[in-house]
């Protein structure tokens, strides 16, 4: 249920709460925005909690910035508040890839758009992994397609890490595979098509995978 708050004279409307953070809709310099606030964990010592929360906040900001430098579309980072442990981000007008796939499952696959979304997902993951960045939570809910341009945007870098280890990249792909398989009952043959298509795109785009394959 939505909840209204006011911080710094800006109205915040709660739109989502997870295990690590709350996500609000707000405005920033007159623009529609998202505020992601990491909250404290009461079971941790206050000093340790503050250090860990700040560390994760800064890591998320750095990883999202690095992703953009690698050519992956992410929300623009407007501000980092180290006192409130929050990030202020661009609000993305669009729909989640999860909703797109569910729509395909209910109404039939629109082949051109399906191929475009799959290719963009593969290309985005390739850029991350080749650049030594692991997203950490590659689910279709964390992928948005921007209205008007149909550009794929990756969100929520809260679990992201820098790594060149093949095992870490494999875990990233495993999380995505499980997310897709969990949609099977709703999406039907969409999932059966998307997984091999994504694999093909990844093998075409990701140069670092070829090294791993040669070592197998």
Mind telling me the catalytic residues?
137
- Beta-strand relationship, 31-38 and 143-146: unpaired
For tokens 């709703």, what's the residue? 186
- 183, 100 in Cβ contact below 8 A? no
Q: Give percent helix, percent strand, percent coil of the chain, each to the nearest 5.
A: 50, 25, 30
Residues β-bridged to residue 77 = 89
d(CA 28, CA 78): 8
Comparing CA positions, the residue from 191, 163, 164, 156 lying closest to residue 177 is: 191
DSSP string for residues in 96-129: EHHHHHHHHHHH---HHHHHHHHHHHHHHHHHHH
DSSP 84-95: TTEEEEEPP-EE
Task: Answer for the pair 23, 16: CB distance below 8 angstroms, yes or no.
Answer: yes
């Amino acid at each position: 249920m939505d909840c209204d708050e006011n911080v710094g004279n800006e109205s915040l409307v709660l739109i989502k709460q997870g295990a690590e953070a709350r996500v609000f809709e707000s405005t920033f310099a007159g623009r529609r925005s998202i505020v992601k606030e990491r909250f404290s964990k009461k079971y941790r010592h206050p000093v340790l909690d503050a250090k860990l929360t700040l560390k994760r906040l800064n890591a998320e900001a750095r990883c999202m910035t690095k992703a953009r430098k690698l050519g992956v579309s992410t929300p623009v980072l407007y501000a980092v508040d180290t006192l409130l442990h929050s990030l202020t981000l661009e609000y993305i007008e669009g729909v989640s890839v999860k909703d797109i796939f569910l729509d395909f499952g209910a109404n039939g696959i629109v082949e051109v758009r399906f191929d475009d979304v799959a290719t963009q997902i593969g290309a985005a993951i390739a850029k991350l992994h080749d650049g030594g960045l692991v997203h950490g939570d590659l689910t279709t809910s964390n992928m948005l397609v921007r209205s008007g341009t149909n550009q794929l945007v990756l969100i929520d870098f809260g679990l992201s890490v820098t790594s060149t280890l093949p095992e870490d990249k494999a875990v990233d792909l495993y999380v995505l595979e499980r997310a897709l398989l969990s949609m099977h009952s709703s999406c039907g043959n969409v999932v059966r098509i998307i997984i091999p298509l994504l694999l093909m795109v990844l093998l075409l785009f990701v140069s670092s995978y070829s090294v791993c394959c040669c070592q197998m």
